[in-house]
């Protein structure tokens, strides 16, 4: 057994795996509807993702939660980035003083070349500025390149608190631990810092507007007895949790979303965050097929279901709702959301929270 695999098994063993968790502790949200709209990386359809500007815009558009992906700096500060490698989301490549930081690392079994947050102190990271991750598709977002710095987890929480007061409704934080095994292998485990930050802010309590999610399992099991907020197991339409790979566990995400797998997940988690194709698959031409039984099975296991990611561009929409053959053109996101809400999902992640909120308002009014 490798050292990494042993570490994973140690982490799994740190939490009980027998007692079922209670039902989700989520609360009712804006306008009397308990359907959650989560601003995916903020309002990333309109601003560069994981910036305070993106998070603030999502809240002002009506999102119930803002979603920071959490990675760490060299000096152990949690910051919001989609990946530890930051060349796609910052201007680091334009900084000659950091040219020698470019390196190649094994990220969950894949060789990745670039600049990594854990090789920068927070002070150094502060000298960088964010940029649009997919400029060919979201050219309008590039006008904001270079305007915003990389925020800390604490700054995201502070922003949510300020906007909650200003908007007179609770703005929640739906945090994801990114590549937890990768960071643990480097001696920079994310989970203790998450617990510490939530404790320091008085947010580690039942009823707090906080979720913590992960694509891995063992870190959620470690967090289970240490956090009093809902935990969410993320799943993908393919592959398996990387900590399962390290531990030699043959199960895949497909195994986790079976009826038996969901009952097992409910022992440590309160919710499920599936890739939306696991709720309604598509055929070879991209058209929606009949819904699976995933939502029903998850609810029977006591799990809320918050699928990802709902985006307005044709590239991301089912063929049913595309407006043209141009990937960047806007299609009918309203119709896609309506189709998925008909399956009984409890919320969703979206780059365009204004559309999801408008669809919710129309549903309430109608």
Q: pLDDT of 193-240, one tens digit each?
A: 999 999 999 999 999 999 999 999 999 999 999 999 999 999 999 999
Phi and psi, residue 9, nearest 5°: -65, -35
Burial annotation 306-335 (CB, 10 A radius, 16+ → b, else e): bbbbbbbbbebbbeebbeeeeeeebbbbee
- Between 119 and 29, residue with greater pLDDT: 119
User: What is the CA 22 to chain-centroid distance, rounded?
Assistant: 22
Q: What is the pLDDT of residues 58-100, one digit of tens each?
A: 999 999 999 999 999 999 999 999 999 999 999 999 999 999 9
pLDDT at 365: 79
Report the mean per-residue pLDDT for the chain: 92
Report pTM.
0.91
Q: Quote the CA–CA distance of 304 and 320 in Å, as a whole number.
A: 27
- The C-alpha atoms of residue 360 and residue 366 are separated, in whole angstroms, by 10
Mean pLDDT, to the nearest integer, of 347-354?
98
For residue range 122-167, list pLDDT tens digits in order.
999 999 999 999 999 999 999 999 999 999 999 999 999 999 999 9
The confidence score (pLDDT) of residue 366 equals 67
Do β-strands 271-273 and 347-350 pair in parallel, antiparallel, or remain unpaired? unpaired
Give residue 26's pLDDT.
39
- For the chain, give the percent of residues with pLDDT over 70: 91
């Amino acid at each position: 057994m490798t050292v990494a695999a042993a570490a994973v098994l140690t982490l799994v063993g740190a939490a009980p795996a027998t007692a079922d968790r209670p039902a989700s502790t989520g609360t009712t949200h804006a306008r009397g509807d308990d359907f959650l709209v989560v601003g995916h990386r903020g309002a990333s359809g309109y601003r560069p993702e994981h910036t305070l500007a993106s998070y603030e815009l999502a809240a002002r558009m009506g999102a119930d939660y803002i979603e920071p992906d959490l990675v760490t700096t060299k000096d152990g500060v949690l910051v919001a980035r989609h990946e530890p490698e930051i060349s796609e989301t910052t201007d680091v490549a334009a900084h000659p003083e950091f040219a020698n930081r470019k390196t190649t690392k094994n990220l969950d079994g894949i060789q990745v070349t670039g600049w990594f947050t854990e090789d920068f102190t927070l002070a150094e990271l502060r000298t960088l500025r964010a940029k649009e991750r997919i400029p060919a598709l979201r050219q309008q977002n590039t006008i904001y390149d270079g305007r915003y710095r990389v925020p800390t987890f604490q700054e995201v929480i502070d922003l949510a608190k300020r906007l909650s007061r200003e908007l007179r409704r609770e703005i929640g934080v739906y945090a994801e631990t990114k590549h937890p095994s990768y960071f643990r292998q480097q001696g920079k485990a994310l989970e203790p810092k998450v617990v510490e930050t939530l404790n320091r802010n008085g947010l580690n309590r039942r009823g707090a507007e906080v979720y913590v999610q992960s694509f891995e399992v063992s870190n959620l099991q470690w967090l289970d007895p240490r956090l009093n907020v809902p935990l969410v197991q993320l799943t993908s339409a393919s592959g398996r949790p990387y900590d399962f790979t390290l531990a030699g566990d043959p199960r895949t995400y497909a195994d986790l979303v079976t009826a038996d797998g969901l009952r097992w997940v409910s022992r440590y988690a309160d919710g499920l965050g599936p890739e939306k194709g696991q709720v309604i698959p598509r055929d070879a031409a991209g058209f929606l097929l009949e819904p699976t039984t995933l939502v029903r099975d998850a609810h029977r296991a006591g799990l809320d279901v918050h699928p990802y990611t709902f985006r307005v561009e044709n590239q991301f929409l089912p063929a049913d709702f595309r407006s043209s053959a141009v990937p960047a053109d806007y299609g009918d996101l309203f119709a896609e959301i309506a189709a998925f809400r008909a399956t009984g999902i409890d919320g969703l992640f979206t780059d365009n929270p204004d559309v999801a909120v408008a669809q919710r308002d129309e549903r309430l009014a109608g």
